Structure 1
Amino acid sequence: MSTHPQEKELEKQPSIVADDGLESASEGEVLHALIAEDRAHDIQLRTMSWQKAAWLLAGDQVCLAIMAQSWSLSVLGWVPGLITMILAGVLFWITSITMHKYIMKNPMIMDICDFGYYIFGKSRIAYEFSGFMLLANNILIIGFHVLTGAKVINTLSDHSQCTVIFSVITTLMGIVMSIPRTLKHISFMSIFSAACMGIAILLFLVFAGIEPAPLFGYGGNYPELGPVKTYAFPLPGTTWVDCMNAVLNISFLWVPQILFPSFIAEMERPQDFPKSLAVLTGISVFLFIVPPAIGFRYLGQYATAPAFGSLGVLGYKKASFAFVIVPTVVIGVIYANVTAKFVYFRIMGKSRHAHSNTVVGWGVWIVVIVVLWFIAFIFGSVIPSMGDFLSLLGAAFDSFFGFIYFALAYWHLYRGDFFKGPFRSVMTVLHIFIMIVGLFLLGPGLYAACKAIIADYAGSTRPAFSCADLSI
C-alpha cells in the first residue's frame, strides 16, 4: 500500500498529523492546513464561494443533453420515461450528499481519483484505475463537444466549409478559453453558458409549439409515421436495446459527479457545497423534466436527439440551435480544466512551478491543455456516432462515478450503524439499491451500449475526418 502524495506533504507537519498519518488529525485541522498551504501559493485554487460553485455546477449541467430527453421519452413513453427521470434525480441528490459527507471526512481529496484511492482502502491501483477512467471519460466528452460545435457551425453556415474545419475552429476556441488555471474564473463563463442554453431551450419550445407539425423523425418524416401522438409505454417494435439506451441517455444527464470532488476542492468553504447542490438540483429538476415533456408533447414519435432536429422551419432551427455554441465550448472547457489539473499535477508534483506564475508552470499548463483538446479533436473526428459512445460512457464510467463509488463511500461512513434508527435504515436500503443500479449499468447497460455501437459499424458510418454535412 502506497501513501498518497498529499499525505506525505502533511505528514511533514507534526502539529497536525502524527506518525500514523491523517487518522490522528481531525477533519477540521486537515482542512485548515490545506487552506493555509493554498494561501501561500501565487496561484490559489481554494477561492470559490458557494454561489460561484453553483454557477459552475449550473454551467456544467445545463447542456445540450437536455434536448435529447424528448427522444428518450419517445422511446420509453410517459410512464417509464418520467419514472426514470424522477428516480435519476432522487439518486443524484442522495449520492451527491453522500459524496460530500465522505469528502468532509477526508478533506485531502482533490478529485475523483483521490476519492477512489480512499474508498478502496488507500489503494494505489484504485487511484490509477480512477485516473484512467477520468481521462477516458473526460476526453471523450470533450471530443463530443468538439463534434457538437462542428454541428452547430455546420447548421448555421449551411455547410459552407468542410466539417473538419469547423471542428478545428471549435477546438481552437476551447484551447483559448481553457487557459485560466482556476475554476473560479471559469465559473463566470458558466453563467453565460447556462443562460444561452436556457434561451435555446425556450426558443425551441416556442417554435415547436407554433409549428403545425414537426418535419423530421428517425423512423420517417412527417406524416409518414402518422399524426403526432404521445403514449404511456414503449410502442410495439421497440427493442430492449432501444429502451436501455434511452435510460442511459437519461442517466448520463444526471451523473456529473465525476467533476464534483474537483469543484469542492476549490471552494473557500467546502462545507457549503450542499447549498450549491441545492441550487443545481432545483434548476435540474425543472429543466431536465419540464422542457423534455413539452417537447415530447409536440414532437411525439418524431422526436430526435437533439430535439432541434425535428423542427421543420430552417429559420426556427438555426435561431434556437445557434445559442448552443456557448455551452458546447464552455462545458468542454470545464472538463478540460479538471482533466488538465490531474495531468498537470502528476507532471509538476510539489515543485514551485505547480502553483506559481513561472514560465515553466504556464508553459506546461498550456501544453497539457493543447494536447488534451487535440486528442479530443481526434476522437470527435474518427468516431462515427458520438451519441452511442455517450451511452457507452454512461454504462462503463457513470456506473462507477455515479453509483458504485458512492455506495462504497456510504459503507465507509456508516459501517456498524447501517440500521441505527428508521432514517438510517431507509438510507442504507437506498444505497444498496444504488449499488445494484451501478452494477446493472455496468452489466446489461454496457452490453446494450456495445450492441448499439456494433449496429452503427454494421451500417453506413461517417468516415474519419469527414467533410460530410453534419447539420441537424
Structure 2
Amino acid sequence: MSNSNEKKSAEDVGSNSSRIEEHDVFGSEHDHDIQYKTLSWQFVAFLMIAEIVSNGMLSLPNAMAAVGIVPSLVLTIFLGIFGLFTAKLLVDFKLNHPDVHSMGDAGYIIFGPIGREVLLFGTIVFAVFGAGSELLSGQLALSTLSNNGLCSTYLLVIFSVATLVMALPRTLGRLSWPGFISAATITLCGILAMVGAGVSPTPGRSLSATVPTTFYDAFLAITSPVFAYAGHFRFFILISEMHRPEDAMKAAWTLQVFATIFYAVFSVVVYCYIGPTVASPALLSLSPVWAKISFAFGLVNFLISGGLYAHTAAKLVFVRLFRRSRHLYSHTVLGWSVWIFLCFAATATAFIFATAVPIFSDLVGITASVFASWYTYGLAGFFWLYDTYYLDNGKEALRRRWGGTLLAVATILAGAFICVAGTYVSIKLIVEAYQSGSVGKPFSC
C-alpha cells in the first residue's frame, strides 16, 4: 500500500509539473536555443533592488523635510509592509496562473480583452518613463562629475546609447550579474551619501518631528515613499524567468526588508545632517567632493537600471508578438531584428521624452499615480478576490474568508485613493510650474 501511494504521489507531482510546464509562458525549454527560465530568487531580489531603490532612495530625505521625521518614517515602514503583502498576492496569482507574463495577461484573466490592453499599455508606458527617469539621473551624474563640462543633451545622448547596449540581452538571466552590481553600487552610493552628509553637515539646521502642512503639500511629499516601492509591475515578468517560481516570495521578502530598512536609515541620516534644505535628489545637497563620489557609484546603477527598464518595455511587446513562436526562443533573423528594434524604440522614446518634454519629471509622477498605484497596491486586491472566488468556492469562500476579503477590498480602495490623489497633485504641480514660468525649454543645455 505504501509503495502504491508513493507511486501515485510521484505521478501526481509529475502530472502537475507537466501541467504547469504546458501553460507556462515559455513552455518546456529542453530544446530551446534561448532559455529564459534561469533566474534564482537571489538574483531576482538583486534585480528588484537595483530598480526600486534606484528611484526611491534619493527623494526620501526631501519628503521627510516636508512632513517631518515621524510621519515620514511611519509611512515608509507601513508602505514597506503593505508592499510585502501585495507582493504575496501577486506571487500567489502568478503561481495559480503560470501563463501570466505581465499585468496585461493578468488583466485579461480578470477584466477581459480591454483589461489586457489597458494594463499592458500602462506597463509599457511606465517602463519607458522609468527608463527616461534613469536617463535623467545618469545625465545629472555625468554633469556633476564633469563640472558641467559638456552640454547636458550630449551627455544624455551618450548615456542613452550605453543604456541601449545594456538592454540588449534577450533574457534577464544575462542581466543577473549586472543586477547584482547595480544593487551593490546603489547601496554603496547611499552609504557614501550618508557619510558625506555627516562629514559636511549644514550649520544651524533645524529638525522637525512633524511639520504642519496642507493636504496638497503633504501628499506631494508622501508620493516619494508611496512610489519608492513601485516595482511590482515587473514581478510577473521576473517570476516568469525563474527556474523555481515557487521561491519568488523569498526574493520579495529580501527586497521589501532591505528597501524598508535602507530607506528609513538613509532618509533619517541625510535629513538630520542636511536639515530642511535637503534637495531632491539628495546627492545635490552634499559637498562637491562627496556629491561626485556618490554620483560615481550611483551612475553604475542608473545605467543598469535604465537598461532593465528598456529591456522590460521591449520584452513586453516581444512576448506579445511571438509567444509560442520559434522566434521567441530561437536565434532567428526576424526574432533578433525585432528585439533590437524594440530595445532601440524603448530607449529612443525614453530619450525623447526626457529631453524634449520640460515637464517630464511631473509626467513620471502622473504615470506612477495612474498605473503604479494599481500595479503595486490596488490590483493585488482584485487578484485575491478572483482566485478566492473561482478557485475556491465562490461567494461562500469570500464570506468564509471575510478577513481576507476585507483586506482585499481595502487594498483596492487604497490603490484608487493613491491614483486619484497622486494624479491631482501631479497635474496641479504642472499647472503651477507653467504659471510661475519655471518650465524649461526642450533640448536645452
Do these two structures clear the TM 0.5 threshold for a shared fold by scoring above it?
yes
Aligned-partner Cα distance in 2 for 1:464–1:208:
33
- Asked if structure 2 preserves the Cα contact closer than 8 Å seen for 1:381 and 1:464, the reply is yes
The superposition leaves residues 308-354 of structure 1 with CA deviations (integer Å, 9 ceiling, x where unpaired) of: 1112x211211112211111111111111221112123333543222
Q: Which has the higher helix share?
A: 2
Q: Does 1:183 align with 2:172?
A: yes
Q: Which of residues 56, 63, 69 in structure 1 aligns to 2:54?
A: 63
Q: Which of residues 163, 168, 171 in structure 2 aligns to 1:174?
A: 163
Measure how far apart 1:232 and its partner are. Answer: 2.1
CA pair 378-349 structure 1, distance change in 2 beyond 3 A: same
Aligned-partner Cα distance in 1 for 2:162–2:384:
40
Aligned-partner Cα distance in 1 for 2:365–2:99:
32
Q: Which runs of 4+ in 1 moved over 6 A?
A: none
Query: Aligned to 1:276, what secondary structure does the other structure show?
Result: helix
- Asked if structure 2 preserves the Cα contact closer than 8 Å seen for 1:143 and 1:376, the reply is yes
Q: Which of residues 242, 251, 262 in structure 1 aligns to 2:237?
A: 262
CA pair 286-276 structure 1, distance change in 2 beyond 3 A: same
Amino acid at match of 1:98: L
- Asked if structure 1 preserves the Cα contact closer than 8 Å seen for 2:81 and 2:256, the reply is no
Q: Which of residues 309, 320, 329 in structure 2 aligns to 1:335?
A: 309
- Asked if structure 2 preserves the Cα contact closer than 8 Å seen for 1:111 and 1:265, the reply is no
Aligned-partner Cα distance in 2 for 1:419–1:234:
42
Aligned-partner Cα distance in 2 for 1:108–1:333:
25
Aligned counterpart, 1:455:
432
Aligned counterpart, 1:230:
207
Q: Does 1:249 align with 2:240?
A: no
What is the 5 A alignment of 1:66-77?
A: 66-77=57-68
Q: Does 1:158 align with 2:147?
A: yes
Aligned-partner Cα distance in 1 for 2:184–2:154:
27
Identity, in percent, stands at: 29
Measure how far apart 1:166 and its partner are. Answer: 0.4
The superposition leaves residues 187-246 of structure 1 with CA deviations (integer Å, 9 ceiling, x where unpaired) of: 1101111111111111111111121417xxxxxxxxxxxx312212224xx432221121
What is the 5 A alignment of 1:319-398?
A: 319-398=293-372
Aligned counterpart, 1:219:
none
Q: Which of residues 355, 369, 373 in structure 2 aligns to 1:399?
A: 373
Aligned-partner Cα distance in 2 for 1:66–1:54:
17
Measure how far apart 1:429 and its partner are. Answer: 2.9
Q: Does 1:417 align with 2:397?
A: yes
Aligned counterpart, 1:464:
442
Q: Does 1:84 align with 2:78?
A: no
The answer for unaligned runs of 5 or more in structure 1 is 1-24, 215-226, 468-472
Q: Which of residues 96, 100, 105 in structure 1 aligns to 2:91?
A: 100
Query: Aligned to 1:464, what secondary structure does the other structure show?
Result: coil
Amino acid at match of 2:186: M
Count of matched residue pairs: 423
Aligned-partner Cα distance in 1 for 2:276–2:402:
42
CA pair 243-445 structure 1, distance change in 2 beyond 3 A: same
What is the 5 A alignment of 1:180-329?
A: 180-213=169-202, 227-235=204-212, 238-311=213-286, 313-329=287-303
The answer for unaligned runs of 5 or more in structure 2 is 1-13, 390-395
Query: Aligned to 1:251, what secondary structure does the other structure show?
Result: helix
Query: Aligned to 2:413, what secondary structure does the other structure show?
Result: helix
Q: Which of residues 419, 435, 438 in structure 1 aligns to 2:415?
A: 438
The superposition leaves residues 46-75 of structure 1 with CA deviations (integer Å, 9 ceiling, x where unpaired) of: 111222222222222231420210111111
Query: Aligned to 2:276, what secondary structure does the other structure show?
Result: helix
Query: Aligned to 2:150, what secondary structure does the other structure show?
Result: coil
Aligned-partner Cα distance in 2 for 1:66–1:36:
37
- Asked if structure 2 preserves the Cα contact closer than 8 Å seen for 1:48 and 1:267, the reply is yes
Measure how far apart 1:379 and its partner are. Answer: 0.4
Measure how far apart 1:167 and its partner are. Answer: 0.5
CA pair 229-239 structure 1, distance change in 2 beyond 3 A: same
Amino acid at match of 1:433: A
RMSD: 1.9
CA pair 385-208 structure 1, distance change in 2 beyond 3 A: farther
